């Protein structure tokens, strides 16, 4: 039997301590060593760390890694770094270990390859979780930008309920519009930003992978399949993660411009 969704007696106050964790691994199949790429004069990881620091709700940012070179690099630019095991299957798993000795009620998962993430989206996700006492985590959805293709399976879509909780995530185009003349909903892209209640992270580490998660290859579906509510913030995401050398080159050009 799956654990019952975590319920909070009331939404946390704005005094809740918020800590951001940046899970950082060195290896990347499409762009090896990307977090240390430094053609801008700074490692990519430092750009992410500095960007997250613009979110005023975050009290501390911690880099979680299993790599000694990343640890030394992080310390060199002034970041706090914690070492974790090397066998974590994903960033959330690494965060679960990293927060073991960290004092915070709310944990923000900032992807290590998002150097241009909008700080206001982080703040929105934190507010969404704080305002929904029954949600265990929160995330963000955004309208598609004009140049983005909603049918692209590499861009995850999210359907949101009237209570601003996620109903489903998919690589397919959802919702499917049967009658174009009566569509009231535009597709929304999912922004890979998560905010967790600390107690939920302890539970999440024990949850078994689920059929929909493995089918779509979307980790957030594990929470939904086990019955945990995901609060959703709405915003406009103009940035995206860096997965390839070509995307990094474009980022470098923007920085130099």
Q: What is the pLDDT along the chain (257 residues), one digit of tens a residue?
A: 444 444 443 444 446 899 999 999 988 888 999 999 999 999 999 999 999 999 999 999 999 999 999 999 999 999 999 999 999 888 888 999 999 889 999 999 999 999 999 999 999 999 999 999 999 999 999 999 999 999 999 999 999 999 999 999 999 999 988 877 667 789 999 999 999 999 999 899 899 999 999 999 999 999 999 999 999 999 999 998 999 999 999 999 999 98
* Residue ranges per structural domain of the chain: 18-139+189-256
- The angle formed by the CA atoms of residues 106, 228 and 124, to the nearest 5 degrees, is 40
Distance CA 108, CA 63 (A): 12
Residue 8's pLDDT is what? 40
Residue 15's pLDDT is what? 62
Residue 129's pLDDT is what? 98
Nearest to 97 by CA among 111, 87, 106, 110: 87
Residue 73 CB: number of other CB atoms within 10 A? 22
Annotation: CATH topology of 18-139+189-256: Spore Coat Polysaccharide Biosynthesis Protein SpsA; Chain A (3.90.550)
DSSP H/E element including 159: strand 157-160
Distance from the Cα of residue 147 to its chain's centroid: 23
Residue 6's pLDDT is what? 44
Are the C-beta atoms of residues 196 and 226 closer than 8 Å to each other?
A: no
């Amino acid at each position: 039997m799956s654990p019952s969704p975590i319920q909070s007696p009331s939404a946390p106050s704005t005094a809740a301590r918020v800590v951001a964790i940046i899970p950082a691994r060195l290896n990347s199949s499409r762009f090896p060593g990307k977090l240390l790429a430094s053609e801008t004069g700074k490692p990519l990881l430092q750009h992410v760390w500095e960007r997250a620091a613009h979110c005023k709700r975050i009290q501390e940012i911690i880099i979680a890694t299993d790599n000694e070179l990343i640890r030394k690099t992080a310390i060199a630019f002034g970041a706090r770094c914690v070492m974790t095991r090397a066998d974590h299957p994903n960033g959330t798993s690494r965060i679960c270990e990293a927060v073991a000795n960290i004092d915070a009620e709310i944990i923000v998962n900032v992807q290590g390859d998002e150097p241009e993430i909008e700080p206001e989206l982080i703040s929105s996700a934190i507010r969404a979780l704080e305002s929904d006492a029954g949600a265990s985590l929160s995330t963000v959805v955004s309208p598609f930008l004009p140049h983005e293709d909603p049918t692209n399976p590499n861009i995850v879509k999210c359907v949101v309920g009237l209570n601003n909780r996620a109903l489903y995530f998919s690589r397919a185009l959802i919702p499917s519009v049967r009658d174009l003349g009566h569509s009231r909903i535009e597709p929304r892209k999912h922004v890979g930003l998560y905010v967790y209640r600390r107690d939920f992270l302890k539970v999440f580490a024990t949850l078994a992978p689920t059929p929909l998660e493995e089918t779509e290859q979307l980790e957030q579906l594990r929470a939904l399949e086990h019955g945990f509510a995901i609060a959703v913030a709405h915003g406009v995401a103009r940035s995206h993660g860096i997965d390839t050398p070509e995307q990094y080159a474009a980022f470098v050009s923007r920085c130099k411009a």
